[in-house]
Amino acid sequence: MPGRPRSERPERPKKPKKPVRPRRKRCSVCGVVKPGDEYHHDSEAPDGLRAQCKECRSEYMHEYGIAHREERREADRIRRARDPEHYRQYEENRREEQIAKIKAVRKEAEQVYGGKCAKCGATEELEFDHPNGDGFEHRKIERPNAMLLRITREGRLTDFELQLLCAQCHLEKTREERALMTFRKVSLNDKRRMKELREQGMSITEIGEELDFPYGTVSYHLRAMRRKDIE
């Protein structure tokens, strides 16, 4: 059976042409010519990219958020009051996504440090340990998740020494350190000397060997001096 003439066939809808994204583009704010991947996508723009680069856009949104903070909070409260169940589910999904993202970053950071326990070679339930005993100082200036993210970007840390231990080996190491915590009184000059050596970058073990004090004594007085500076 012959088909219908071409003139009688229904016209197929034409697909919209995708915009040709330039390899490089000048930002309308900073005026710097940057690669195309330095711009957010914009389907309404002729070239498919925003006029502002990502950096300038981020600065603008940050300033806008500060200037309209109370307005945005009030609008958010109104939206949540209209459909609390939707936002409850949204928060749960977001929390699950964040947990999954943190686990992935942690796994990548563990691979940077070998992906196994430094003592027994186990590959499950790994934890980061500070062998020099400066974990308290590290956590004061950097959160654990920020540390993991920095490891994935920069590799092994140079400002703090880390090692991977499984949960069991980490627990045994902690028990051994606590067993060494035999305290004895020290003079004010010894405390000042401990502080000076610590500021020079020496570990607690090295300070104990230098001044002939047990590990626990040095650790205890350094922590006390962090709470109350000794003049």
pLDDT at 6: 59
Q: How far apart are CA 106 and CA 128, in angstroms?
A: 10
Residue 58: what pLDDT?
Answer: 92
What pLDDT was estimated at residue 36?
A: 87
pTM of the model: 0.51
Confirm if 25 and 39 have CB atoms less than 8 A apart: yes
Joined tokens for residue 106: 């942690």
List, run by run, the mean pLDDT of 10-residue segments along the chain (231 residues): 59 62 84 90 87 92 91 90 90 91 92 91 90 83 90 90 91 76 71 86 83 79 72 47
Cβ-count burial 85-113 (b if 16+ within 10 Å, e if not):
eeeeeeeeeeeeeeeeeeeebbeebbebb
Q: Which of 108, 110, 119 is nearest to 165 (CA)?
A: 119
Indicate the CATH number of 24-64 among 3.40.50.970, 3.10.129.10, 3.40.190.10, 3.30.60.130: 3.30.60.130
pLDDT of residue 230: 47
Domain residue extents for the chain: 24-64, 115-165, 180-227
